[in-house]
């Protein structure tokens, strides 16, 4: 089977303008590599339409997984969920629910993340918060989910004896 290709995307107007250094994207890359994926990025894009563009390009390029960090909060410029929703064929609500639930005991505001997860063609897209802690929490949850999800998207079957 071909290697799993993943793309890390940082959504930040300030980081994309060079105002500060992207710290979340490198964490995504490290986490995805730790799962055994072939990783590209991080691509750093500003909030808004650029997110939809980079996601559509990633789907067209056939990435198995795209993880984003940033743009999932409540400010008027936080548009990552809206841009992601435009690209998805269907959502997988259990993934962001699990990520929020994992982070909530440590940081109450984890519940405010509006990140989505879903599939566009055969690409799994997951939005993570912009904070380093949010990225680490998201990767901790995804480590158990991504390999199986990618296998499913590639046509794999459920393991025998698995009731789910």
Q: What pLDDT is attached to residue 164?
A: 52
Burial of 98-114, coded b for 16+ CB within 10 Å and e otherwise, reads bbbeebeeeeeebeebb
Which tens digit of pLDDT belongs to each residue from 42-80? 999 999 999 999 999 999 999 999 999 999 999 999 999
> Which element (helix H / strand E) includes 150?
helix 132-153
pTM of the model: 0.94
| pLDDT over 90, % of the chain | 87
Q: What pLDDT is attached to residue 123?
A: 98
Q: What pLDDT is attached to residue 157?
A: 72
DSSP line for 46-87: -SSHHHHHHHHHHHHTT-SEEEEES--SSSTT--HHHHHHHH
Contacts 24+ apart (CB under 8 A), 39-42: 39/6, 39/7, 39/8, 40/5, 40/6, 40/7, 40/8, 41/7, 41/8, 41/9, 41/10, 42/8, 42/9, 42/10
Check whether 95 has a pLDDT greater than 90: yes
Distances in Å between the Cα of 151 and the Cα atoms of 2, 104, 114 are 11, 29, 26
């Amino acid at each position: 089977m071909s290697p799993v290709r993943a793309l890390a995307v940082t959504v930040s107007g300030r980081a994309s303008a060079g105002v500060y250094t992207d710290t979340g994207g490198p964490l995504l890359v490290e986490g995805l590599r730790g799962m055994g994926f072939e990783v590209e990025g991080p691509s750093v894009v500003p909030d808004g339409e650029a997110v939809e563009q980079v996601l559509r390009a990633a789907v067209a390029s056939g990435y198995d997984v795209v993880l984003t960090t940033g743009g999932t909060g409540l400010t008027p410029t936080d548009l990552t969920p809206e841009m992601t929703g435009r690209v998805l064929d269907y959502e997988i609500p259990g993934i962001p629910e699990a990520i929020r639930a994992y982070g909530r005991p440590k940081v109450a505001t984890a519940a405010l993340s509006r990140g989505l997860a879903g599939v566009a063609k055969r690409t799994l897209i997951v939005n993570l918060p912009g904070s380093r802690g949010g990225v680490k929490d998201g990767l901790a949850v995804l480590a158990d989910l991504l390999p199986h999800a990618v296998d499913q998207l590639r046509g794999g079957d459920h393991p025998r004896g698995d009731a789910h």
